[in-house]
Chains A and B, each alone.
Chain A
Amino acid sequence: MKMKRYVRAAAVGATFALCLTTQGFASGSGAIDNDMLQELKRMIEQQQAQIDKQAAEIAELKEQVAGASEVQAVEPDKADMVETDKMVSSRLSNVNLSLYGHINKAALFVDNGDSSKWYFVDNINSQTRLGLRANVETVHNWNVGGRIEYGIVSNASSDVNQLNTHDATSTNFKLRWAEVSFNNEQFGKLSLGKGDSASNGSSEVDLSGTTVASYAGYSDMAGSALWYDGGTGVVTDLEIGDVFSNFDGLSRTDRIRYDTPSFAGFSVAASASSGEAYDGALWYSRKFGDTKIAGAVALANPGDLKSVDSIYSGSISAKFPMGFNATFSAGGQELDEPGRDDPVNWWAKLGYQVKFYEAATTSFSIDYGETTDLDQNNDKLKSWALAAVHNIPDWGTELYLAYRLHQLDRDATDFDDIHVFWSGARVKF
């Protein structure tokens, strides 16, 4: 009996022990699976992150490859464009050739007391032009250059008048420059051909910014306009240009010219022109802080070019920091005619420059001048003008307008005043 009791107890204990053991085994295996699962999960997440990263890299590479293909597809076109742009080329690396020019057109109104008319003109203050400038650097800092420039003018403002209202300019293409030059910073510049004589521009130095509308050579505005004699009621054949000159040297001539290098702002120029004409000039330009000063004086013997003994001319202009500027010009010539007084001209201008907005500068000026004894003794031409120029550099464009009054005093004659107004645009291309 006891034995049976022992066996039954042992069986129950064994079963219990087995159950416990089995449960213990079962409990230990679950802990291991969780760790593994966590590890596997971590690894999978890590691999997923790597896959995502690689996928992003592949996508990026694809984009780069696609971009490169597009560039390759575009490059030939660009190359073609470059080849197309270089229609003219040189095997030399130090050669330069540039094309330049501008167009300057205006509407001009002239009233001489007898009649008034509108004209559409080329502004001869700065006529329409087209030019080529070439330069090549050679040995020892010598530059060999050349310049060809044509004025391309129709209905010049200085040609139109009451009788000549359209197609007033017979020569539409006029050679202004055709020269070769040899230039060295140390030795100066030698020029040969058609171009500025040494004295040209010496009475026209002007820093006002309004020269396209009004400057010392004001017969360029309407120089052929005819004076009307109010006393007799006759339109005469006397033009504004007959009684006005600023005696600006010898203009552009066929010449040989030498310019010294600049020293402290000064340089000397001398030229000998065809027609046994000779001239010399002293030029100056210098900046003192924000103040700019420029000037010139010149003496010319016009030889066969003009029937005068000699021509004197000079001008000076200063531009001050606040935009104010002042200009003075004078000149004269000695006549080789008994009984004739030598004609003289003087002219002065005051100006002001202001920026109403950042992209443009507006210049205003008022000027007055007198020329005496040019056409005959005791003649006195008086003229004053108001001018405004709106300069828009980014467009290469100036818009301008000016009014000028001409009054001529002559013995025993009563000329009416000539009123002139113009407005136009100069566009640099």
Chain B
Amino acid sequence: MRLKILIIFLQIAVLVGSLALVGCGGDPWTYQADRELKPGPGILSGEDGEFTVIGSSDQNDQAEKQTKKNTQ
């Protein structure tokens, strides 16, 4: 059974690893799991999708982008 796990794991690793070979192509894009807070507008908060309590929404966007850039 360990072999079975290892094979499946390796298959995914190979898939992801093969992406590394073409990784230098393409454009940056950050995956966001939409089971978390779905990207996009909110019904009350509008385009930002979040209420800005302090600061400007632009600053929030920039900070968020940097955070996401570094987390995934």
Contacts and interface: CB of A to CB of B under 8 A. Distances in A.
B11 to A, nearest CB: 7
A59 B54 CA distance: 45
B1 A185 contact: no
Contacts of B49: 100, 396, 428
B29 to A, nearest CB: 4
Interface in A74-112: 88-90, 94-102
Q: Tell me the interface secondary structure of chain A in the complex.
A: strand
Contacts of A346: 8
Nearest to A291: B26
Contacts, number: 215
A131 B50 CA distance: 10
Interface string B15-47: 110011011111111110111111011111100
Given A100-B49, A102-B37, A314 B16 contact: yes
A184 B71 CA distance: 11
Interface stretch (A20-28, A47-55, A262-270, A409-417): A262-270
Interface residues of B, number: 54
Contact of A342 (B5, B38, B56): B5
A267 B9 CA distance: 18
Given A98-B50, A429-B45, A262 B5 contact: no
Given A97-B52, A131-B37, A396-B44, 12 more contacts: A88-B54, A96-B56, A143-B66, A204-B33, A209-B34, A212-B38, A259-B71, A260-B70, A265-B23, A293-B19, A428-B40, A428-B41
30 contacts: A94-B55, A96-B55, A96-B59, A100-B37, A100-B51, A101-B37, A125-B35, A133-B60, A143-B66, A145-B63, A185-B70, A204-B35, A259-B70, A262-B69, A267-B70, A267-B72, A283-B31, A285-B29, A287-B29, A288-B27, A293-B19, A295-B16, A297-B9, A312-B8, A315-B12, A333-B5, A341-B1, A342-B1, A396-B42, A429-B44
The 6 closest A-B pairs by CB, nearest first: A314-B12, A96-B55, A285-B31, A332-B5, A287-B29, A294-B31
